[in-house]
Amino acid sequence: MTHGEAVAIGMLFALRLSEEMLGTSLPIAQYEEWFKQLGYRTKIPNSLSRDRLLKTMSQDKKVEAGTIRMVLLKKLGEAIIVNIPPEKICKLLEERMEVSHG
């Protein structure tokens, strides 16, 4: 996975979390289609494990006292930092994993 793909996937992940946790409605499908048109993958490769991703996220500079914090959108143009429960992250990671075919 390229750095650009990781950034695109992370942005889509944060948008989905914004909708789920803040009840906002964002044009996620439009952003996902745009990334695809630019040649970026938009799903987490199934070669990456959920546990490894969660561990990597827990080492981010926004983690405070062991709590994963992410920048989410209340609406376009209005961002806030939110503490994210690990179970929410795990659920969304599983939903966004590529399906293995074979």
Give tens-digit pLDDT for 13-58. 899 999 999 999 999 999 999 999 999 988 888 787 777 777 777 7
Are 92 and 20 contacting, i.e. CB atoms less than 8 angstroms apart?
yes
Confidence of residue 100 (pLDDT cuts 50, 70, 90): very low
Q: Could you tell me if residue 101 is inside a domain?
A: no
Domain count of the chain? Answer: 1
Write down the pLDDT at residue 99.
Answer: 57
Domain that holds residue 33: 3-43+56-96
Measured distance CA(91)–CA(89) in Å, rounded: 5
Confidence of residue 91 (pLDDT cuts 50, 70, 90): confident
CATH of the domain at 8: 1.20.1090.10
What is the residue-wise DSSP string for 4-26?
A: HHHHHHHHHHHHHHHHHHH----
